[in-house]
Amino acid sequence: MSKQSGISSKAAQFRESVIREMTRQALRFGAINLAQGFPDFPAPEELKRAAQQAIASEINQYAITWGAKDLRQGIVRKMKVWQGLDLDPETEVTVCCGATEAMISTLLALVDAGEEVVVFEPFYENYGPDTILSGATPKFVSLRPPREPEGEWSFDPAELRAAFSARTRVIIVNTPNNPTGKVFTRAELEYIRDLCLEFDVVAVTDEIYEHILYDGARHVSLATIDGMRDRTVTINGMSKTYSVTGWRVGWAVASPTLTSAIRKVHDFLTVGAPSPLQAAGAVALALPESYYQGLAEGYQRRRDRVLKALREAGFRAFTPRGAYYIMCDVSSFGFESDLAFVKYLVEEGGIAAVPGSSFYKSTGGNQQVRFVFAKRESTLDAVDLCFKKLSEKVTRGNNC
Ligand SMILES: Cc1ncc(COP(=O)(O)O)c(C=O)c1O
């Protein structure tokens, strides 16, 4: 690709984030923001106090570039309790500016130009640009919607196998999954493990929604599957589990060899994550188990409520088993595309959502829309009203 107006060929290959654009649209039209994945309810009091105390007690200068010691120790302790993994905080943990930076630092550290990265589609929007920035070629594998909305999204094992080759360096897995809400089963992860071993591939697994699970679904961490401990980079962070998306604290956990490469890239990209918020992170990671139960129960109530409202309004809403999004098929509304539907919804319906096509490289998703339900009760009351009005306004099968 030739240079356009001094723009690098990498930057020319992707567009601005549609999710963040929808947040701007929500502000412009005064719509409720069910587009970007952040809660509108308060962060836990003890974490806010810990951050304030950290600043007051002069934790205001650079932390160690790969993360404050007590936070790394907290990450390792928590992974022992929840995943049963024994890790070394000195050599296997890198604290970054959010899971976002952990992902791009990992790909830049592991992947060379000309190599391939396997990505499930639909995918969390960032993975496309991340792959391009690392110089790699993404190979997409479909996650197919279930026949019935209550069913599970799935992939075709033969299609996944066909995406692997001698050029494959990394597979990105995201479980629980954004945008589909899929929670990968142990059997699926073992199949991925077999391919990683056969093709000598590293799995980069984004587990940022590990504690947001429904209907008794269980999170299986890829690094705990036999043979994967030293072949997995586990990415996680504070944003979703502790309702602090603006703090920008995340981490990558990997073998010492992979970690030393990730740390170098991280250091020169950002130097480090905000030090007082890392101090508060150490407090967060020591919260009792009941905190995580409360988190999941709160989200289960919100999921049930929004799922019901969407279905009553005429959406074909797929039941998520984890994370805090609902993917819907909107073909019954009769709009020519997801973009047209989302435009109508934000301008006339009072709700900002994300067009499904932004989660696909292929033409998939052009009748899908994603809604976030990480919202307080009063916001969900207003959402109910908007959906009721929408179903009255929109004549099914008739483009308004
Ligand atoms: C799958 C996934 N990974 C990462 C992130 C971003 O995480 P962070 O705020 O830690 O950068 C998000 C945010 O929506 C996400 O959905």
Q: Which atom of ligand 1 is nearest to the CA of 323?
A: 16
At 398 the pLDDT is: 45
Tell me the pLDDT tens digit for each residue of 355-373: 999 999 888 899 999 999 9
| 127: its two tokens | 């993975």
Bigger pLDDT: 5 vs 224: 224
Residue 105 Cα to ligand 1 midpoint, Å, equals: 14
At 3 the pLDDT is: 63
**Burial class, 91, CB count within 10 angstroms (exposed 0-12 / middle 13-18 / buried 19+):** middle
Helices (H), 111-172: 127-133, 157-163
Residue 79 Cα to ligand 1 midpoint, Å, equals: 19
Mean pLDDT of 29-37: 92
Tell me the pLDDT tens digit for each residue of 7-21: 998 888 888 888 888
H or E segment at 329? strand 325-329
Mean pLDDT of 315-337: 96
Ligand 1 neighbours by CB, cut-off 6 Å: 37, 98-100, 124, 174, 178, 206, 208, 237, 239, 245, 250
Bigger pLDDT: 395 vs 18: 18
At 4 the pLDDT is: 66
Residue 347 Cα to ligand 1 midpoint, Å, equals: 27
At 395 the pLDDT is: 53
pLDDT band for position 400 (50/70/90)? very low
DSSP 3-state percent helix, strand, coil across the chain (nearest 5): 45, 15, 40
CA nearest 324: which of 389, 392, 379? 379
Tell me the pLDDT tens digit for each residue of 259-315: 999 999 999 999 999 999 999 999 999 999 999 999 999 999 999 999 999 999 999
Q: Which atom of ligand 1 is nearest to the CA of 36?
A: 14
Q: Which atom of ligand 1 is nearest to the CA of 174?
A: 1
**Which residue among 22, 71, 100, 172 has the greatest number of ligand 1 atoms within 8 angstroms of its CB, and so is best to mutate?**
100
Mean pLDDT of 32-57: 95
**Which residue among 239, 251, 269 has the greatest number of ligand 1 atoms within 8 angstroms of its CB, and so is best to mutate?**
239
Q: Among 9-18, 34-43, 166-175, 249-258, which stretch is predicted with the lowest mean pLDDT?
A: 9-18
Q: What mean pLDDT, rounded, does the chain reach?
A: 94
At 5 the pLDDT is: 81
Q: What is the DSSP letter of 300?
A: H
User: Which residue reads 């550290």 in tokens?
Assistant: 109
